[in-house]
Structure 1
Amino acid sequence: MIVAVALHGTPAHIFSQVFGEWLLCYLAGRLLVGRGVDLRLIFRTAVFLAIFALFQLATGFNFAVLPPFNIVVGAANWTSLQVRADMVRAEVTLGHSIALGGILACGSAFLVFERDRVVRYIGFAIIWGGIFATASRGAVVAGAVVAVAMAISSRLSTAHKLIVVAVVSAAGYFVSLSFVDLIAVDAGAEASDSADYRAGLVGLFGYLNLFGVGDYARVAGGGGVYTWGRFQSIDNGYLFLGLYAGWLALALMSLVFMASLAVGIRRWGALEAASLGFATMLLFVAPITQFQCFGWMLLGLSAGIGPRGRRLDAVNGSRGWATLLPSGGGKGRVDLEGPA
Structure 2
Amino acid sequence: MNALAGAGVLIVGLCALATVALLLRAMPRAAFVLWGIVLFFVPVWVGVNAGTFWAAITVVTILAIISCGGSVRLSPIDGFVAAFTVLVVVEFAMQSMSLSATVIALMEWIVPYVWGRLVLARLQASFVTHWLALLTTVAAGLAVVEFVSGVNVFLFLPAQGPSFEEWGVLQDRGGFVRAEGAFGHSIALGASLAMGSAFVVAAPWRARTKVVALGLIGAAAVTTFSRIGMSTLVLAVALSIFTLPGITRATRATVAVAGIVAAAIVIPFLGGVFLTAGQEAGGSASYRGGLLDLVPLIQPLGAARDLEGAVINGQYLGFYASSIDNALLVVALRAGWVPTIVLTVCIIGACLPLLRHGGATAANIAVATQIPSLLTVAFITQYGMYFWFLVGLAVASELRRRAALEPASAVIALRPPGEGIARWPQGARIPAVRM
TM band (smaller chain): 0.7 to 0.9
Query: Does 2:330 align with 1:237?
Result: no
- Rounded to whole Å, the distance in 2 between the matches of 1:330 and 1:219 is 67
- Rounded to whole Å, the distance in 2 between the matches of 1:242 and 1:174 is 40
Distance verdict in 2 for CA 1:248–1:228, change over 3 Å: farther
Name 1:18's counterpart in structure 2.
105
What's the CA shift for 1:33? 0.9
Query: Does 2:203 align with 1:113?
Result: yes
User: Contact 1:265–1:307 at 8 Å: present in 2 too?
Assistant: no
Name 1:32's counterpart in structure 2.
119
Deviations 1:93-138 (A, max 9, x none): 1111111111100000012213222211100110011111111111
What's the CA shift for 1:79? 4.3
- Rounded to whole Å, the distance in 2 between the matches of 1:155 and 1:242 is 37
Deviations 1:61-100 (A, max 9, x none): 12233234x3443434444311111111111111111111
What's the CA shift for 1:180? 5.2
Distance verdict in 2 for CA 1:202–1:165, change over 3 Å: farther
Query: Does 2:298 align with 1:211?
Result: no
What's the CA shift for 1:228? 3.8
Identity among equivalent positions (%) equals: 27
Q: Secondary structure at the match of 1:281?
A: helix
User: Contact 2:109–2:388 at 8 Å: present in 1 too?
Assistant: yes
Q: Which amino acid aligns with 1:299?
A: V
How many aligned positions are there? 306
Name 2:23's counterpart in structure 1.
none
Distance verdict in 2 for CA 1:204–1:78, change over 3 Å: closer
What's the CA shift for 1:12? 1.2
Q: Which protein has greater RCO, CA pairs closer than 8 Å, 6+ apart?
A: 1
Query: Does 2:222 align with 1:132?
Result: yes
Query: Does 2:340 align with 1:259?
Result: no
What's the CA shift for 1:17? 1.0
**Structure 1 residues 80-89 or 178-187, which shifts more?**
178-187
**Structure 1 residues 51-60 or 278-287, which shifts more?**
278-287
- Rounded to whole Å, the distance in 2 between the matches of 1:311 and 1:185 is 52
User: Contact 2:194–2:229 at 8 Å: present in 1 too?
Assistant: yes
Name 1:324's counterpart in structure 2.
none
Deviations 1:42-65 (A, max 9, x none): 111111111111111111112233
Name 2:378's counterpart in structure 1.
286
Q: Secondary structure at the match of 2:308?
A: strand
- Rounded to whole Å, the distance in 2 between the matches of 1:88 and 1:11 is 35
Q: Secondary structure at the match of 1:148?
A: helix
- Rounded to whole Å, the distance in 2 between the matches of 1:86 and 1:125 is 24
Unaligned 5+ runs, structure 2: 1-87, 311-315, 405-431
Q: Which amino acid aligns with 1:14?
A: A
Of 263, 277, 282, which aligns to 1:192? Answer: 282
Name 2:190's counterpart in structure 1.
101
- Rounded to whole Å, the distance in 1 between the matches of 2:433 and 2:216 is 40
- Rounded to whole Å, the distance in 1 between the matches of 2:368 and 2:182 is 24
Distance verdict in 2 for CA 1:263–1:65, change over 3 Å: same
What's the CA shift for 1:310? 6.8
Name 1:75's counterpart in structure 2.
164
User: Contact 2:353–2:360 at 8 Å: present in 1 too?
Assistant: no
Deviations 1:267-325 (A, max 9, x none): 1131111111333322221001011111111111110122551799xxxxxxxxxxxxx
Of 92, 95, 106, which aligns to 2:181? Answer: 92
Q: Secondary structure at the match of 2:401?
A: coil
Quote the RMSD (CA, aligned, Å). 3.5
Q: Secondary structure at the match of 2:375?
A: coil
Unaligned 5+ runs, structure 1: 221-226, 313-328, 332-340
- Rounded to whole Å, the distance in 2 between the matches of 1:279 and 1:305 is 19
Distance verdict in 2 for CA 1:198–1:36, change over 3 Å: same
What's the CA shift for 1:244? 1.4
Of Structure 1 and Structure 2, the greater helix share is in 2
- Rounded to whole Å, the distance in 2 between the matches of 1:7 and 1:171 is 57
Q: Secondary structure at the match of 2:301?
A: coil
Of 143, 153, 174, which aligns to 2:243? Answer: 153
What's the CA shift for 1:143? 1.1
User: Contact 1:148–1:168 at 8 Å: present in 2 too?
Assistant: no
Name 1:42's counterpart in structure 2.
132
Name 1:275's counterpart in structure 2.
367
